[in-house]
Amino acid sequence: MASPCSAMAYHHDSRRIFVGQDNGAIMEFHVSEDFNKMNFIKTYPAHQNRVSAIIFSLAAEWVVSTGHDKCVSWMCTRSGNMLGRHFFTSWASCLQYDFDTQYAFVGDYSGQITLLKLEQNTCSVITTLKGHEGSVACLWWDPIQRLLFSGASDNSIIMWDIGGRKGRTLLLQGHHDRVQSLCYLQLTRQLVSCSSDGGIAVWNMDVSREEHHCRKCGQAVCGKCSSKRSSYPVMGFEFQVRVCDSCYDSIKDEDRTSLATFHEGKHNISHMSMDVARGLMVTCGTDRVVKIWDMTPVVGCSLATGFSPH
């Protein structure tokens, strides 16, 4: 490679790999049927700086990407030509894409998520989602329920109801560090999240949760007005948060029952990927360790194997 690699996308059916680099270019390769050889196809001049995320659409023959040049670009994989670009005010850090509608979700370092409708040679901004107090590190789009999940450096996760057009609907707080990766399991209605300190959380999303200051009734309560704190998982607060005196007295023990399970990855997780069919999760980290987790059942995470390169 001409430059250090920064992002990658693999399309299983066509065996095509797209590798983003620090110099802003994306290189495409085709993997042989026996997986013993890769053939170079072409280079896409997608960005002027590090590529942060890549998605390939076989139906449209587009490669969509984000980069630290503060833009999202989409290029034609047949011709290799640039189709369009859209610029943001800060680094574009993560990307999700709805293949049916050609909507792109772009998270950036300012904490915003921009929803774009991509066309052949142009795009339009549908809306901007604001809720995080730190840079958005990861996104996950569920096209069935039309829910978008975002994780950020403010250690929180937000579930956005895109299909219902309600905007921010649920804040999940259970991590102690930057949320690096997300994966929503449609079959079991569970959300798996990983943070940079090695924390792994499995959230039960198949419960009726209360939407979002007293974190229960919604009143603004400062430290002078109330010293009471309590966890309130039904609203996403797995940690203890400030609540007003009357709400504190009304919270029952069963209301404090956790709606998530937490596991210790014991390494600094930077990326996570799930193989739902086989019930496996792979994590890799800045400690140069790759771990494979047995996620069957998902609520009983147990380390299957782990290895560190020489």
18-52 tens-digit pLDDT: 999 999 999 999 999 999 999 999 999 999 999 99
Q: Which domains does the chain have, with CATH numbers?
A: 5-207+261-294 (2.130.10.10), 208-258 (no CATH)
Would you place residue 239 in the very low, low, confident or very high pLDDT band (cuts 50, 70, 90)?
A: low
In this model, does residue 67 exceed pLDDT 50? yes
Q: What angle do CA 142, 144, 149 make, to 5 degrees?
A: 20
**Predicted confidence band at 260 (pLDDT cuts at 50, 70, 90)?**
confident
pLDDT tens profile 139-189: 999 999 999 999 999 999 999 999 876 666 788 988 999 999 999 998 889
> 304 pLDDT exceeds 50?
no
Average pLDDT (190-194) is 94
Confidence (pLDDT) at 231: 61
> What is the per-residue pLDDT for 104?
97
220 has a pLDDT exceeding 70? no
**Beta-sheet pairing, 290-294 with 82-87:** unpaired
* DSSP at 34: T
Q: Residue 209 gets which letter from DSSP?
A: -
The string of DSSP letters for 235-262 reads GTEEEEEE--HHHHHH--GGGG--SEEE
Element (H, E) at 89: none
Query: Contact at 8 Å (CB) between 161 and 131?
Result: no
| pLDDT in the model for residue 258 | 64
Mean pLDDT score of the chain, rounded to an integer?
86
